[in-house]
Structure 1
Amino acid sequence: MKLPILASLSLATVSAALPSLDVERSAATINSTVLACDALKLVFKSQVFFPGSTNYTAENEHFWTPTDYLSPACVFTPKSALDVSAAILTLVGLKAPFAVRGGGHMPIPGYANTIGGVLIALTDLNTIQLSADKSYVSVGPGRRWEEVYAYLEPYGLVVLGGRVGIVGVPGLLLGGGISFYSNQHGFASDNVIAYEVVLATGIIVVATATQYSDLFWALKGGGNSFGIVTRFDLLSYSSPTVCAGITEIPSTEKDLFLSAVANFGQYGSADSKAAVIPSIFMLGSLNETIYTSALFYDGTNCNQPALANFTAIPALENTYGPTTLATYVEGTDALIADGTRQVFRVISSFANAEALSIVHDTFVEEVTANILNVAGIQASVAFQPVTKNFIQQGINKGGNPQGVDITKAPYFWMVENFSWTDPADDAKIAAFAASVTDTIQAKLVAAGQAAQYHYMNDAGLGQEIFQNYGGTNLAKLKAIRAKYDPLKVYTNLMPGGWKVDAA
């Protein structure tokens, strides 16, 4: 494979080229990152941006939340896998730190951005192409799910992906990915049939169930320790019209709401086409708690017994009805305020009324007592019912690194989400989020209701992920990482995210 000229540049060659860039720096200020930025600029010119430029600002603020706006030394926007390969060879040769950003929805500072390193922004890797037989679609990591669904809608097709439109394609898939269709088809990553990957050597490979099969397995939920994925081939399914929408329920209907959530958690496998995301929302500005439920059914008849317990609850507002997946997820963008600061934490339990009550009561009491007066605060817990059907589909498709124990299903995989407006409150909210999660976890453990698996895409800083993957999967992931990246390029030079070797 022939790479661009940059792939063969030595450190001495790059250093000698610097004067031609009209850059005047003393020897003391030239470090690996400066050399890397200038070397990339030498070859890629219009694809490298420095602080102060409009494009730099746009890429650095491409993230969902300002908690991720950092200060990379430069931003590089590759247009092909070959561009990524050349950049990796340069960064490795110069030992320059870097970060990779897809859709920018992970709110942990430094997990998809960098202070002083090179930010590889995948914005322009935006392939989206349906195969000739319409069985799969190839998607670049610069895409967000609302774009993918909109592209497929005229064909009456869908893929398994995010339930919020602005979520990026690569992060969701590398963390596994929960979809409205997961009860039918498993994790979103269980429905990837090929990954185009740039390895730490700069070599570009395509991993499938039959070639680089160990890497293929690892990428189904093993995160970013193995390479940079530059294309995902996703199985498509026919689903031209669905039933979807959100019900908003007053706090006076707490008992009916919790009963409906517990019932679906226990019996959600009865109809694999149904999905729900019930949530507790606490709004500081209104001093109010409300309940919401995102309801989904893969079909044209919206009057479904599987969702009847939710639709029967008296609602303040109810948008559930016939629609398309693309239309529904586009509407979710309006539910998320621009510019708010964000923290996630993840909790897992068995799906029953006792666990639900512990989480609900503890969360509401702790938020009310400690942070409800914080400016702009919104605190929520979303309950994601995970059925035996969900887990079995992953097993049927060759298994995945998550190794969720099907014998103990069903589960609730929960995400706590805190949003606020003032940076001065960052430390307070982060500390509270960790504290309330620890309190809930301790109560679940004491009641025998805590589950093992923690979903990476909803986790917060410091939470353990790979330690909770089933069986011997962590050891297997570490061996695969060592095979494909023996120098730990994607562990040490790219420190952002959860790393299998740190588990």
Structure 2
Amino acid sequence: MFNVPKAVAASLLLLHGARADICSTLPISAPDIEIVKPFTAKWSGEQLEYWSTGCGKLHPSCILYPKNAQEVAAIVEALGETNETFAIKSGGHNPNLYFASIDGGPLISTGSLNQVELDTATETAKLGPGNRWDEVANKLDGSGYSIVGGRLGNVGVGGYMLGGGLSFMSTEYGWAANSVESFELVLANATIINVTRDSHPSLFKSLKGGGNAYGIVTSFTVKAYKQGTVWGGNYFFNATPATDAALLEAVADFAMHYPDPKAGIILTAERTGLGAVDFWTMFLYYNGEQPPAGVFDRFKAIKPWSDTTKTRTYAELVGFNNWAVLKGSVYTIGTETIPMPSLGAANSSTVAASTLQDVHRNWRDVGTPALLKVGGLIASTAYQPVPR
């Protein structure tokens, strides 16, 4: 959520004061920009697209849908005049209140900035921030190319790219932001610029993980990588002390030694207070028709009670993973980054596994009182190895 007075960076937050109402004035100054008023069908639908229930409960005074960089610039210029607090929303996956949501101010939705244009000659693609990753994958399906992107298709492109972007492909190609060749950016003074490593080296670097603090990105030009079929899906395990220990040991080993750069995993645990739900879900990915022996063997040996892995297109896998997106049910989230011990250090594997087991035990212990107190509450935690 931002204020944009003239000549002030787009990330600054200022106190509310007397101000004009852009929801009323913009139709006069920029009549081609779509403006959606509160409690209409489209307004309500947009609010339901947040990953976090808390964000969706905030009420923007209107929602603006620019279709190109010029319309974004017109909005920014108008906001500079009215000095209104506003927010920008791509997929709405950010769970923090007021980051991509707002109460009582205008919301800029990038939903109409949804182009996907593949250039096979340069092996790049131009992506609008309003896409979700399943939409990108579907539009590229059959082209023989894919983009380093989200592991669940429902995640939006804009916030993901500007936050760095951990991908199943990250061990092969790096963070998603590493694949960006240029950004089309609207600055706080409504100027439209093309940011490359040569034209604006410091800004180019800052946009790769720096979030939306430097302006509004209206398109990303990214590297496209040749892609055939992939293998992936889920393993499901019942939670028991022995299974918990075995899975966390396997995850620690996977994170420390990363057996194959084409492989990726996410391990999640879910539980309720009375034990009606208490199981593990594992997301698996391999960039190839079948993973070679040794890549996922430790997990398979723990004997999942259900296995949905198979060979499929990348678009099919990203879309399939959307079963885990439960909109309207998530309220709050927190994250921790835990460095693994240095390779070669004494007892490094034992220390790594023990650390994860302590974290998991604490999650269960701390969560139990809340789970018993709040009916219908489900606690979930995820372990996501980050390649060295």
TM-score (normalizing by structure 2): 0.87
**Partner in structure 2 of residue 370 of structure 1:** 370
- C-alpha separation in 1, matches of 2:248 and 2:40: 51
- C-alpha separation in 2, matches of 1:344 and 1:288: 19
Residues paired across the two proteins, number: 357
Residue 47 of structure 2 corresponds to residue 60 of structure 1: yes
Residue 359 of structure 2 corresponds to residue 359 of structure 1: yes
Quote the offset at 1:357 in angstroms: 1.3
- C-alpha separation in 2, matches of 1:172 and 1:216: 16
**Helix, strand or coil: the match of 1:160?**
coil
**Helix, strand or coil: the match of 2:337?**
strand
CA deviations over 1:350-374 (Å, ceiling 9, x no partner):
2311221111111112212332442
**Helix, strand or coil: the match of 1:189?**
helix
Quote the offset at 1:310 in angstroms: 1.0
Structure 1 counterpart of 2:95, from 107, 113, 117: 107
- 2:52 maps to a residue whose letter is T
- C-alpha separation in 2, matches of 1:111 and 1:145: 20
Quote the offset at 1:241 in angstroms: 0.8
- C-alpha separation in 2, matches of 1:158 and 1:67: 33
**Partner in structure 1 of residue 106 of structure 2:** 118
Q: What does 1:388-399 correspond to in 2, within 5 Å? A: 388=388
What is the RMSD of the two structures over their aligned residues, measured on CA atoms? 1.8
- 2:285 maps to a residue whose letter is F
**Partner in structure 2 of residue 24 of structure 1:** none
Distance 1:55 1:287, change over 3 A: closer
- 1:301 maps to a residue whose letter is Q
**Partner in structure 2 of residue 151 of structure 1:** 139
Moved over 3 A (4+): 283-288
Distance 1:290 1:33, change over 3 A: farther
- 2:252 maps to a residue whose letter is A
Residue 272 of structure 2 corresponds to residue 283 of structure 1: yes
**Partner in structure 1 of residue 244 of structure 2:** 254
**Partner in structure 1 of residue 25 of structure 2:** 39
Quote the offset at 1:286 in angstroms: 4.5
Residue 129 of structure 2 corresponds to residue 137 of structure 1: no
**Partner in structure 1 of residue 321 of structure 2:** 332
Distance 1:387 1:60, change over 3 A: closer
Query: Which is helix-richer, 1 or 2?
Result: 1
Q: What does 1:463-482 correspond to in 2, within 5 Å? A: none
**Helix, strand or coil: the match of 1:292?**
strand
- C-alpha separation in 1, matches of 2:171 and 2:32: 47
Q: Which stretch of structure 1 is more off in the superposition, 117-126 or 284-293?
A: 284-293
Structure 2 counterpart of 1:84, from 47, 56, 72: 72
**Helix, strand or coil: the match of 2:279?**
strand
- C-alpha separation in 1, matches of 2:215 and 2:274: 44
- C-alpha separation in 1, matches of 2:294 and 2:315: 24
Quote the offset at 1:132 in angstroms: 4.2
Structure 2 counterpart of 1:215, from 180, 185, 203: 203
- C-alpha separation in 1, matches of 2:386 and 2:27: 47
CA deviations over 1:100-152 (Å, ceiling 9, x no partner):
11111112222112111111111111111001416111010110000111111
Quote the offset at 1:209 in angstroms: 1.3
**Partner in structure 2 of residue 307 of structure 1:** 296
Distance 1:52 1:33, change over 3 A: farther
**Partner in structure 1 of residue 61 of structure 2:** 73
**Partner in structure 2 of residue 462 of structure 1:** none
**Partner in structure 2 of residue 181 of structure 1:** 169
- C-alpha separation in 1, matches of 2:270 and 2:39: 39
- C-alpha separation in 2, matches of 1:370 and 1:54: 35
Unaligned runs of at least 5 residues, structure 1: 1-29, 389-503
**Partner in structure 1 of residue 8 of structure 2:** none
- C-alpha separation in 1, matches of 2:20 and 2:47: 17
Contact 2:49 2:327 in 1 (8 A): no
- C-alpha separation in 2, matches of 1:83 and 1:46: 7
- 2:379 maps to a residue whose letter is A
- C-alpha separation in 2, matches of 1:132 and 1:259: 42
- C-alpha separation in 2, matches of 1:52 and 1:379: 31
Residue 174 of structure 2 corresponds to residue 200 of structure 1: no
Quote the offset at 1:46 in angstroms: 6.0
TM-score (normalizing by structure 1): 0.68
Q: What does 1:396-415 correspond to in 2, within 5 Å? A: none
**Helix, strand or coil: the match of 1:100?**
strand
Quote the offset at 1:177 in angstroms: 0.7
Distance 1:115 1:345, change over 3 A: same
- C-alpha separation in 1, matches of 2:293 and 2:380: 27
- C-alpha separation in 2, matches of 1:370 and 1:55: 35
**Partner in structure 2 of residue 343 of structure 1:** 332
Contact 1:74 1:117 in 2 (8 A): yes
